[in-house]
Structure 1
Amino acid sequence: MGYFVTVESGVNLFVEDLNHAGRKTIVFLHGWPLSHKQFEYQFTVLSGMGYRCIGIDWRGFGKSDKPVNGYTFDRLADDIRVVVDALQIENFTLLGHSTGGSIAIRYMNRHKGYGVSKLILVDAAAPTGFTKETANQLLKESLNDRPKMMQGVTDTFFFQYITKPFSDWFVQMGLQASGWSTAAIITVLRDENLHADLPNIDSPTLLIHGSHDKVIPFSQAIDLHQKIKSSQLVPFHYSGHGPFWEERNRFNQIITEFIGRP
């Protein structure tokens, strides 16, 4: 079931809420510049196993409203808190991929992990995001030929082979975002870091990271593992930046083992 939640005047976020009766809840935060649809192979399997799966499109992305302002980790984390309050969910697992992982980390610090029992960070863009050089190149491409930029992102995203239909689907998912929000998040990933947030994460944390990730190097996962208390790091040796698809069966199994069966 899909619906909208108002997070501030004139800004509504799209929420995909599957298996409302599920006894354990997972909240999914997608990566840049995608949407909740990237987790199709989790929603399909995990909801069938009895989990409640909630996917949130951040402002500016997917089916959510696309205001000009509000693209900081603080505001994006605050948006998640509003959705959590509106849905009255508690004792849930928060799962963030890439920049969604950055937002999850800021949520854990800024909102003291409100409602979260466990945290899963997948190829998180943290504690730092893009290098200045990478960000500036992506920003230039985004502002001049965004479809070409998105194709380039897709081409470096996966370690395993993807078909042209899959590539086309993935590119179109990224192009559903607005141009201004796409560019704004590149700037955030260049200019903000999350070093100060990490010591304040107390929830049990699972770190999943592709060994062949060309977007966020595996070394960042090692850094997170060293700085987040009660964390465990699981390398995915046959994945790049997308283990949620590249090793989806193992990915889903590892998640259910960490959360526990419903």
Structure 2
Amino acid sequence: MSHHIETAPDTKIFVEDEGEGQPVIFLHGWPLNNRMFHRQKQAIIENGCRYIGIDLRGYGQSDKPEENYSYNIFASDIQQVIKELELSNYTIAGFSMGGPVALRFAVKFADKDLKQLFLLGPAAPSFTKRQGYELGMDKEEVTDLMEALEDDRRSALENFGKNFYYQDVPGDVRAELLELSMQASKQATISSAEALRDEDLRDEVGHIHVPVTIFHGKHDAICGFEFAEDLEKRIPNAEIIPFEESGHGLHYEEAEKLNKEMLKRLR
């Protein structure tokens, strides 16, 4: 089953909704959509849980309004989806950019039914370097990426994808990555990169009191493993599960281990 849920005037969010049982809400990374989780979706459904895969606005099959895209806007949309589907006792799994979106949701929008967070290679607490924080990319590097997206989005996304995996993955896997990336709107891709460059969650993640599990590739060249180590220090009830054979694409490179570790915590 799929839904198109209106979360704001003239903006509908596409949601895949399959299986029965405890809901697990999946939030994709930049610049993908929920189809990236098809290996997790199958495991979730087969093990008695309900897969809720959201295409963030501007991505996949969701509407693509011409506006700014921020963590707050994404998190507000998630809140409306949860209300519309009357979800309870739910877990949120956020990959890459979906990680800080999940964290922002947990701080500002969550209700008592949020059970736990899964962060998969999260781009948090800050994707870029800033005063007192030396992890991540320089802000200028992200600005350069935004300009490249403006000039030739396909080429810019192809270059981005070169750093996605640690393992030598088949060509069709890289082709799928680019295909999903090109389904996003140009505006969403650039504006979301701006959010990744400018947003900083360091001061708010300490207010999260549900269990948080951080699944992170040791060879992640996009969101370094140091992000996970920093988050573990800042979040009161956080645990890191390292993935020794993965880069950023742990959902593919070590899918079996990821599925097993998530299901262990869902039970």
TM bucket normalised to smaller: over 0.9
* Residue 37 (structure 2) aligns with: 39
Residue in structure 2 matched with residue 133 of structure 1 by the alignment: 140
CA spacing shift, 1:87–1:70, aligned 2, 3 Å:
farther
Give the alignment's TM-score, normalised by structure 1.
0.96
How many residues align? The count is 258
Describe the SS at the equivalent of 1:66.
coil
Aligned equivalents of 1:87, 1:203: Cα separation in 2: 22
Between 1:112-121 and 1:97-106, the stretch displaced more is 112-121
2:253 equivalent among 246, 252, 255 = 246
Instruction: Report deviation, 1:115.
Output: 2.4
Give the alignment of 1:63-82 within 5 angstroms. Answer: 63-82=61-80
CA root-mean-square deviation: 1.0
Instruction: Determine which of 218, 231, 234 is the counterpart of 1:227.
Output: 234
Deviates more, 1:27-36 or 1:115-124: 115-124
Displacement of 1:72 in angstroms is: 1.1
Q: Could you say if the C-alpha distance between residues 114 and 59 of structure 1 is closer, same or farther in structure 2, counting changes exceeding 3 Å?
A: farther
Whole-angstrom CA distance in 2 between matches of 1:113 and 1:167: 38
Structure 1 gap segments, 5+ residues each: none
SS of residue in 2 equivalent to 1:89: coil
How far did 1:73 drift?
Answer: 1.0
Using a 3 Å threshold, how does the CA distance of structure 1 residues 112 and 26 change in structure 2: closer, same or farther? closer
| Cα offset, 1:119, TM superposition | 0.6
Aligned equivalents of 1:31 and 1:81: distance in 2? Answer: 18
Q: Which residues in structure 2 correspond to 1:94-173 (within 5 Å)?
A: 94-130=92-128, 131=137, 132-173=139-180
Q: CA deviation at 1:165?
A: 1.5
Q: Which runs of 4+ in 1 moved over 6 A?
A: none
Q: How does 1:167-182 map to 2 (within 5 A)?
A: 167-182=174-189
Verify the 8 A CA contact 2:68 2:188 in the aligned structure 1.
Answer: no
1:70/1:76 contact within 8 Å kept: no
The residue number in structure 1 matching 2:191 is: 184
Structure 1 contact 2–14 (Cα < 8 Å) conserved: yes
Aligned equivalents of 1:192, 1:115: Cα separation in 2 = 26
> Deviations for 1:163-199, whole angstroms, at most 9, x for unmatched residues?
1112111101000000011000111111111112201
Deviations 1:39-79 (A, max 9, x none): 01011122112110000000000100000114111111111
C-alpha separation in 2, matches of 1:229 and 1:213: 24
- Superposed displacement of residue 9, structure 1: 0.7
Aligned to 2:25: 27
Q: Secondary structure at the match of 2:162?
A: helix
Q: Distance between the aligned counterparts of 2:67 and 2:243, measured in 1?
A: 36
Quick one: distance in 2 between partners of 1:221 and 1:259? 21
Consecutive unaligned residues of structure 2, counting only runs of 5 or more, are 129-136
CA contact (8 A) 1:108 1:114 kept: no
| SS of 2:25 mapped into structure 1 | strand
TM-score of the pair, normalised by structure 2: 0.94
String of CA shifts for 1:93-143, please: whole Å, max 9, x gaps. 110001000100000011245521011011110010143032112111111
